[in-house]
A and B are shown apart, each in its own frame.
Chain A
């Protein structure tokens, strides 16, 4: 039976991946920081509770995984976001973001490889973001973590394929119809432009060989624009995301103070949410 490990599998894209894997008859292990969500997983799914932002819990998760049977498919999906002007976001939240989005997947990969817990011909899939191609002003630290994760995967791709036969892949989904995306979108009510997480999970399942998986025509178009005209893509992202977020979040800045004065003062914390 195919054994699958999914981090952040209690909600959003991770949850969609769990469903797809179960439909395919796999045995699924979920690692998540959402204790409540873990109890609501379908029957037969193994749950490991760990807040990946916590170094001690990360280590205990590593110990649990090192004692388990090898996995055929590992999906490093757990991620959080924090949106708003960089200087107004509390720096501790950004440090936590780095721990969950970048440090944890690299540490888990290190531990799994060294304990020989990814089967030969297995797949190691990292969930990155379309922001890798077009940048993400308004979530600068998040953009950094996703670029870091993508290049980590790119660096591992050949060595792991050659020495252990493991296929490393990266998924770069655009905005999805998940709580995560909704809370961080500058226009939360507009759901038309977002793809269903099940669609992305399905794309992960079907693409067993290519390195980069960009699910959907729209996301593909955006990624091509970002690669061909990175400067233009960045400016569009600034207008579409950052400038709208600026209106939502107060900025202690003289330039935008005038525009802000008529709006209700909102606390930046309102836009900080976690969904590991």
Chain B
């Protein structure tokens, strides 16, 4: 691990949704690899756990356009990679949905990502950077959470078109993790059961997100169980 770190180019990463879940796991992994990390999340800096990695962390409310703009203008100087993990969702069908939650989920999972991509373009292009959008396998359809599935499909379609637009300037990758053991499913209202134990471990998903962003071709990568199992022997060797 040490030798690898020394050989690898050290970069500046921006990670959103860094206070918990996949975002937090990505931050930990990047710190372990020695990269400079700027993190944002919903939680205030003081309410983070004591063992939180020592990074430049800012609380940003992604539903506020002005907060996103201010954050990019004030905090981001030189950026090689952006990994947008922030997302939210409710595990419920249309009969239990409510209009204000529809607006909220779209604004976090889609509109905020558009604002971030728009604001970060200049900084990423200046360093020939890469933009990673973290979606979900629900982007194909999810009868149990149609609004969440729609926002993740929107992110996928946006990423596909943007990758074609920016192809020679900023690489765009959409990374779709399968069910991950982050606690999001429970917070979203899905009851914990035996399946929860079988979900992908966040650290492994974080690894695959970071690697997937460096992929040479194909805008989309699904972080599936199969891919996780295939990587297990590789991890053991390392």
Contact = CB atoms under 8 A, between A and B. Distances in A.
Interface string A46-62: 00000000010011001
Contacts of B150: 102, 106, 148-149, 151-152, 155
Contact of A242 (B94, B98, B143, B164): B164
Contacts of B117: 86
Given A59-B99, A106-B106, A144-B157, A135 B164 contact: yes
A156 B146 contact: yes
Contacts of A237: 164
Interface string B91-118: 0011101110011001100110011011
Interface residues of A, number: 54
Chain A residues touching B, majority SS: helix
A146 B157 contact: yes
A156 B158 contact: no
B141 interface: yes
A98 B162 CA distance: 16
Interface residues of B, number: 49
A98 B117 CA distance: 15
Chain B residues touching A, majority SS: helix
Contacts of B162: 86, 137, 140
Contact of A107 (B99, B142, B157, B158): B99
B169 A253 contact: yes
Contacts, number: 155
A126 to B, nearest CB: 10
A98 B153 contact: no
Contacts of B98: 110
B205 interface: no
Given A103-B103, A148-B154, A113 B161 contact: no
B84 to A, nearest CB: 14
Contacts of B142: 155
Closest 7 CB pairs of A and B: A147-B157, A148-B154, A144-B158, A151-B153, A155-B146, A152-B150, A137-B164
Interface of B: 65, 93-95, 97-99, 102-103, 106-107, 110-111, 114-115, 117-119, 121-122, 125, 139-143, 145-147, 149-162, 164-169
